[in-house]
Structure 1
């Protein structure tokens, strides 16, 4: 709930969200780019250890903004240098650091398809995103007139 509240507080648009459970095989597929690295098995085990929430978030410059809000991957560093970040506040270990975030638009597309196979990203960008952007601009203009 605290992560969800942080998402809303930083004015991300929640495009899709769902609670899910990944099994070991699905977790291995998600983290396959890390296979062979010393932390791979811990990532897989943690991801498969219980329920989690997956989100598609939208915001101007969403990837760098989300990564900044998450804070450093290393929890010790996050606690000291970014104590108000999600990982600084809620991370337990470097593996159990509370959140994951795509590091590029290509990774985001791949990860969205992994967790939300029914989501048509191209359609969203062509049809839904422009309407939401326009509605956001109209709301901002109305807010400016009120204040």
Structure 2
């Protein structure tokens, strides 16, 4: 199994897009393993975005992700989950995101691009550990639709 962390950023929450975005993820066949509404504090934001520290946009990134509540989710599936999620999310710049992607359908500006998604299986595991304790995840629950999704 492979996991991806997804963050519905403050703009997605404020615009009432939690349901439509999570619906797309579930309809694709990905299984939710963890889900919570939370307020990200500065320390957590800095830890999550540590790879960008020192870059010109780091401060505004931290300020933005801490500005309002977010929804954090872990989704799992067979190998290829991260790639599938990234394809659903679309290009970082919504102006360049394909129609049918989350950012292509709902986004307008790069600084308000609605959603974060892990960019590799390794970052999926690292990011999941930042936002979720093991007891907060349900990783192996039976879903009656699984035989209709996976061979």
TM-score (ref. length: structure 2):
0.76
Where does residue 136 of structure 1 map in the other structure?
146
**Runs (5+) with no aligned partner, structure 1:** 142-147
- CA drift of 1:119 comes to 4.2
- CA drift of 1:133 comes to 8.1
Greater strand fraction, Structure 1 or Structure 2: 2
TM-score (ref. length: structure 1):
0.78
Where does residue 103 of structure 2 map in the other structure?
87
Greater helix fraction, Structure 1 or Structure 2: 1
Residue 26 (structure 1) aligned to one of 41, 44, 47: 44
Residue 54 (structure 1) aligned to one of 60, 68, 72: 72
- Root-mean-square deviation (CA, aligned residues, Å) is 2.4
**Runs (5+) with no aligned partner, structure 2:** 1-18
Where does residue 36 of structure 1 map in the other structure?
54
- Alignment length (residue pairs): 130
The 1:25–1:18 alpha-carbon spacing in structure 2 relative to 1, beyond 3 Å, is same
Partner secondary structure for residue 49 of structure 1: coil
Say if 2:83 is the partner of 1:64: yes
Larger Rg: 1
- CA drift of 1:70 comes to 0.1
Partner secondary structure for residue 17 of structure 1: strand
- C-alpha separation in 1, matches of 2:60 and 2:77: 31
- CA drift of 1:120 comes to 8.1
Q: Which has the higher contact order (CA 8 A, sep 6+)?
A: 2
Q: Is the 8 A contact 1:42 1:95 kept in 2?
A: no
